[in-house]
Structure 1
Amino acid sequence: MKVLFGSIRFTLLLLLAGCGLSMGQQTGAVSGEQNGVYRYQKPANDGIGKTYLGREIAQVMGHLGAAWLERPEREQEERTDLLLDALSLKPTDVVADIGAGTGYFTFRMAPKVPKGKVVAVDIEPEMITDLNNTKKKTGQTNIETVLGTITDPKLAVGSIDLALMVDAYHEFSHPREMMTNIVRALKPGGRVVLVEYRAEDPNVPIKLHHKMSIAQATREMKAVGLSLKTVYRKLPQQHVMVFQR
């Protein structure tokens, strides 16, 4: 069954946060709200009514739909093998898998960085529990799990070579704050990789707000000091967009 909801990596906390902070998030998280970065409108069927640089942020789903991330046909449908190759990982890289979910990419990237590590970030405790259980079962030692927030992935400044977001960024309720913190976590020369369903292609069977165009992604990354370096176009339905400072 084709899933038309985009990524299910981040929890419904993100949706609740579309109207402000939820569940005791720190006050510093509202800087984008205070500075007028976001606008509000009547929600679309698959949006939350909160817009950022002309794009309505998409609705999200929680951990109960996580089985879709591990569906057997995913590699063939999305050619995740090609995506992993496109990342051009080095053995020493430290990679942050932002919105790691069940760790589909986390556990596939870890063997490619034997002298580095993968930091799996999610804001949902259930996902972190699943990640830790799988880590224990597989015996992979170069994986670290981090419980982030709706505005902060909780990564140390200058600690990562690459931040990967697969079908997740378009659902961030506070994209400006999240990306500002991700950029701070990059090492010199570090990369941000966004993998998003192609909004330019009407044949991609995904709801409108769960797609992103290259132009829109470039606009949003420019707002945090990143510029588009390359686009990998060989996946069946997704862009792989690489940004750097």
Structure 2
Amino acid sequence: MKRHLTLLIFCFTALSCTTSTSQNKKNQDSTVYGSQPASSDGIGKTYLGREIAHVMGFGGAAWLERDERQEEENTELAIQKLPITPTSVVADIGAGTGYYTFRIARRVPQGKVYAVDVQDESVRFLEKRAKELGLANVEVVKGEATTPNLPENSVDLAMMVDVYHELEFPYEMLQALRKSLKPDGKLLLIEYRAEDPSIPIKKLHKLSVKQADKELAANGFKLVQRGDFLPIQHFLVYQKTGEK
């Protein structure tokens, strides 16, 4: 297990791969984000005291689809616990190879799954795989570093599996997701538990509940479910509040 988990750095759910150079983004960085000398696994940019982790590219696809993933993470249980119905609209943010996307699509036969990724290789892979599987309820979306490019007021559940800690623009992305969620929509973060030093994942690729709550609260979300049923990951469900 340890040998596989330490390969997390190859995870390619890279919503932060594209860096904006516009003056607006520079201004936003100066007011929302901080900086520090970059650590070996970080980009030197901080958000509310947390250094943002590096992301890797599509070369990590095989790691996401490894046979041991179910045993290590109990992905089947995570999908069983999703707050969805057969008609739900789900957004898999940082979909990668579609490991979660295509499994969830079968649980929402009258709904839809948006498979969102910023990488062209991933987008092409997802489109091809959806056709091969005959899943007409999967819509592949090319996202950006600051927005998933989803319709407003359209999503019942947006989810990020080991993705949030790598977002280069977490503030902008969370604000964009707020707009995409329906009034009673939910946001799910599945993240390796930073509170447990025995989990063999590098520090910046973990996230604590305390830090997640701080960042989500700052963007108008409140924790409504904390699931501790997964072997090594948090299962954190948030809803929009009236503030942002």
State the shift of 1:31 in Å: 5.5
Show the counterpart of 1:10: 13
Aligned residues with identical type, % of pairs: 48
The answer to whether residue 121 in structure 2 is matched with residue 126 in structure 1 is: yes
Q: 1:10 to 1:27 in 2, by over 3 A?
A: farther
Gaps of 5+ in 2: none
* Cα distance in 1 for residues equivalent to 2:183 and 2:13: 28
The partner residue of 1:206 within 201, 206, 229 is 201
* Cα distance in 2 for residues equivalent to 1:165 and 1:232: 15
| 2:10/2:57 contact within 8 Å kept | no
* Cα distance in 2 for residues equivalent to 1:162 and 1:123: 19
Give the SS at the match of 1:112: coil
Give the SS at the match of 1:205: coil
* Cα distance in 1 for residues equivalent to 2:183 and 2:81: 20
* Cα distance in 2 for residues equivalent to 1:188 and 1:30: 31
| 1:198/1:211 contact within 8 Å kept | yes
Give the SS at the match of 2:4: coil
State the shift of 1:56 in Å: 0.3
The partner residue of 2:228 within 225, 228, 233 is 233
Give the letter for the 2:158 counterpart. A
Give the letter for the 1:176 counterpart. Y
The answer to whether residue 28 in structure 2 is matched with residue 32 in structure 1 is: yes
Q: Alignment length, in residue pairs?
A: 237
Which 4+ residue blocks in structure 1 deviate beyond 3 angstroms?
A: 26-31
Show the counterpart of 2:76: 81
State the shift of 1:44 in Å: 1.1
Q: 1:7 to 1:185 in 2, by over 3 A?
A: farther
Deviations along 1:87-131, whole A, 9 cap, x unmatched? 132011000000000000000000111111000000001000000
**TM-score with structure 1 setting the length:** 0.92
Alignment RMSD: 1.6
Deviations along 1:62-107, whole A, 9 cap, x unmatched? 0011111101111111000110011132011000000000000000
| 2:18/2:144 contact within 8 Å kept | no
Superposed counterparts of 1:30-109, under 5 Å: 30=26, 32-34=28-30, 36-109=31-104
* Cα distance in 2 for residues equivalent to 1:29 and 1:147: 20
Q: 1:194 to 1:186 in 2, by over 3 A?
A: same
